[in-house]
Amino acid sequence: MKTEKVILLTGFEPFGGETINPSQCIVEALDHTLIGGHRIVGRVLPVAFAPCECLVAEWIEELNPALVIGLGQAGGRSELSLERIAVNLIDARICDNDGSQPVDVPVQAGAAAGLFASLPLKRILLALQNAGIPAAISHSAGTYVCNQVFFLTASCLAKSTSQGRGGFIHVPWLPEQGVNHPGQPSMALAAMIEGVTLAIRTSLAHEADIALAAGTTH
């Protein structure tokens, strides 16, 4: 029997006083669609440390996905941020949606200090730029729930025998959110959906990355 090819795409519910989260909107738009012969399975995570610790591992085991791409809101950023590394640290500036605020604790006790994305990030960056979609490589996914989910994803995939690959993309506020944040950047939902779709297509087409300067000086 032929095994269905699946991509797990995760996003988050609103948090921090917002009533909408662009990552959830993207996931819901792409859920059940086919990209490169793979069915997108969209799942929305709570912005809460405790349940995410279990859900990420459960979903990866359930679906055995070829790719796992997490999405999260990064208000104030002006482009799609292709996250390169997840750090083994939780240092919550604000409470999560369950009222928890862990400070200076590891995502996983005894695990590595950091884990890298296994997607061809620089190929994705070039593809997005060629499509006119603002994008950048990011070297900090923060220390909140997004980084936790990114670290858990990378850890689960590293232990799996399925050869699945994964990473995390932070997205800007939506224009309707920007109204409440004067002077801050935003991006149309259609552009974000196009960008995430292109990131998936590029990841399916290429396992190896390219040598392209995309670092920062500070």
Give kind and range of the element (H or E) at residue 86: strand 85-87
The Cα-based distances of 72 to 24, 48, 211 in angstroms read: 8, 13, 26
Active site residues: 83, 146, 170
CB 196 within 8 A of CB 30: yes
SS3 56: helix
Residues 6+ apart with CB under 8 A from 50: 98, 100
Report d(CA 8, CA 165) in Å as an integer.
10
